[in-house]
Amino acid sequence: MEDHLRRVYRAVERKLSELAGRPIEEVLGACSEGPSPYGPAAFDEEPDLRRFLARLGLLGRGRNRANLYDQVARLAAASGKRLEVVGRVLTAFCSPVEGVARPICQKEPQCDECPLKADCRFYNRTPSITDLPLEQRPRERLLAEGERALSDAELLAIMLRSGTEQETAIALAQRLLAQFGNFRTLAMASVAELSSIRGIGPAKAAQIKAAFEIGRRLAQQKAAEPGRRLTSSQRVFELYYPRLRDFKKETFLVLLLDVKNRVFREVEVSVGSLTASLAHPREVFREAVRESAAAVICVHNHPSGDPTPSQNDFEITRKLHATGQVVGIRLLDHVVIGEGRYYSFADEGRLPP
């Protein structure tokens, strides 16, 4: 290890002499002469030096300032140089100082000119998104071209924000999509399932679930937007399929309509088991009567994906129709949503006139 530290310091010293065009001693000036206090406090405001040593793998991730001082002291001991000299030389390599106009290992490092490439963890790491040209970075592309210009992986990469030491956020996003197939199956994954994937911890899993929940609620708000006129079962399906298709339990909704068949309120009557919803005419028509609805449309999903009505569906629809006639509120339709298709009791002539 001491040989490694000595080699690192000598390489830095030679490069600085080359950049300055004169011996390093002339650049350092008086700091190489006479006694002077140079303890841990001297490094309190040295973020560039901390970043430089961290890139080399010589400094841990901790923020203890003594770590920085101790590592500089080790470099000084290995090289046989005064601590003040080593501190100044290392600082000149990564921060602007008088005598050396262009630092090598600054925030945007000049890696091609650095003699430490072979020893540098930063240089030998997997490239990050920030290493890409600006026009290829997802966030910058979104700002310049709009979100529709981005691929699924690029959108997901922005959501993830960062990758791992082995892969960029884009590569991680591509691996996620390859494993799950598409956004829909990814959205259905649980936090536990997502967290078990390499590179996706609880924080990233929570980000993914939150983003897809926002999308689901947006679809819900769009479907329940007051004043929306429903003219056909196809329109009902188009509005409620994106919201209900991935529910793992049957969810029974009632849409309250005015005399022009415009939705003015949506009521979630019940959430049932994996195979059956629980709906009773009393719950279905309670809010319809209270809100003076002119008509109602019932909608529920089949988690199996097959929208063919069950015997229970036929029975509840018969009761709903009869109750509607008694209270003077028409049941216009009962739409059962499955995977990419639906069943309409009205279209199939299963509702008496």
- Architecture of the 129-219 domain: Orthogonal Bundle (1.10)
Please say whether the dihedral angle defined by the alpha carbons of residues 191, 197, 202 and 208, taken in this order, is positive or negative: negative
Tokens of 215: 């999308």
C-alpha distances (whole Å) from 33 to each of 12, 76, 96 are 20, 15, 22
Rounded CA-CA distance 213/198 in Å is 23
Residue-level pLDDT at 184: 81
Q: Which residue has the tokens 């937007």?
A: 225
Residue-level pLDDT at 275: 54
Report for 61-70, 88-97, 141-150, 289-298: range of highest mean pLDDT: 289-298
* Contacts for 135 with CB less than 8 Å, ≥ 6 apart: 141, 144
User: In a 10 Å sphere around its CB, with 0-12 CB exposed, 13-18 middle and 19+ buried, how is residue 106 labelled?
Assistant: middle
In CATH, 225-344 is 3.40.140.10: yes
- Mean pLDDT over 21-50 rounds to 70
Q: What is the Cα Rg of the chain in Å? A: 33
- Mean pLDDT over 152-177 rounds to 86
Please say whether the dihedral angle defined by the alpha carbons of residues 242, 245, 248 and 249, taken in this order, is positive or negative: positive
What phi, psi does 230 have (nearest 5°)?
-105, 115
Question: Which of 269, 268, 256, 252 is closest to 228 using CA atoms?
Answer: 256
- Helices first, then strands: H and E counts in the chain: 15, 6
- Mean pLDDT over 120-126 rounds to 76
Structure letter (DSSP) for residue 150: S
Is the pLDDT assigned to residue 258 strictly greater than 90? Answer: yes
Full-model pTM: 0.51
Rounded CA-CA distance 154/175 in Å is 12
Assess whether the region 129-219 and the region 225-344 belong to the same CATH fold: no
Chain-wide mean pLDDT for the chain? 84
Residue-level pLDDT at 214: 87
Residue-level pLDDT at 292: 94
| 44, 65 contact by CB (below 8 A) | yes
Is the pLDDT assigned to residue 349 strictly greater than 70? Answer: yes
In CATH, the number for domain 2-124 is: 1.10.1670
Domain ranges of the chain: 2-124, 129-219, 225-344
Q: Which residue has the tokens 């390599």?
A: 93
- Containing 55, the helix (H) or strand (E) segment is helix 47-56
226 pLDDT tier (thresholds 50, 70, 90): low
Tokens of 102: 């262009």
